[in-house]
Amino acid sequence: MIIKDREFDSSKPNNAEVKRAMKTLTINIADTVEADERELAMIVATRLYEQGRLSLGQAAEVAGLTKRTFAELLGSYNVSIFNFPASDLSKDVANA
């Protein structure tokens, strides 16, 4: 597995979004795994989003999708867009 840092060129505007440094990950996957690069990127992005390690926007960027498209596809990976612990919901109900 190879991981290297990649900096974005901040001189190029991109919807006024601040670009963050990102890592490029290269992994070897067996030929028997029936998944292309986009699907593998989506799997990584959804898992990191589910764990709370990436925001919705960051995860969408990893997957190479818009936030809207990424959010719409989360359900097909059994990940809720409402990514917060049940204890938060209990607190919100108690404070309502």
Residue range 55-79, pLDDT digits in tens:
999 999 999 999 999 999 999 999 9
Query: What pLDDT was estimated at residue 26?
Result: 86
**What's the half-sphere exposure (Cβ side, CA atoms, 13 Å) at 3?**
3
Q: Is the pTM above the cut of 0.75?
A: no
- Write out pLDDT tens, residues 9-52: 444 444 444 456 778 888 888 889 888 889 999 999 999 999 99
How many Cα atoms within 13 Å fall on the side-chain side of residue 85? 3
What pLDDT is attached to residue 14?
47
Domain coordinates in residue numbering, the chain: 2-95
Contact (Cβ atoms closer than 8 angstroms) between residue 54 and residue 48: yes
Whether the CB-CB separation of 50 and 73 falls below 8 Å is answered with no
